[in-house]
Amino acid sequence: MAAVNGIRVEGNTYFVIKVEGRFIYGRKITDSVCIVKTMKTFLICVFKEGIQPDNCAKTVEALGDHLILNRLYEIKRVTDDDQV
């Protein structure tokens, strides 16, 4: 079982705090991760210290629902350096 040793995202290990359906939530000291499975994609969102994890998780979950409902499967990787 992968969750025994946590989740590794970009070289960081997060303690699994909750697995619910197609959602996985993890925590590492001050940072958190939310993983959402869609039809063909995994959305992985890492929130740094100072960001409200509940708000971020709800946003990522809503994006996953939107992708599934609209059959949109290809997304671009977004980083902190990207211009919005």
Judge residue 29's burial from the number of C-beta atoms within 10 Å of its C-beta, 0-12 exposed, 13-18 middle, 19 or more buried: exposed
Looking at residue 72, its pLDDT comes to 65
- Give per-residue pLDDT as tens, 17-52: 999 888 899 999 889 999 988 877 888 888 888 777
Q: What is the CA radius of gyration of the chain?
A: 13
Structure-model confidence comparison of residues 9 and 72, the more confident one: 9
Full-model pTM: 0.70
May I ask the CATH architecture of the domain 7-71?
A: 2-Layer Sandwich (3.30)
Looking at residue 16, its pLDDT comes to 94
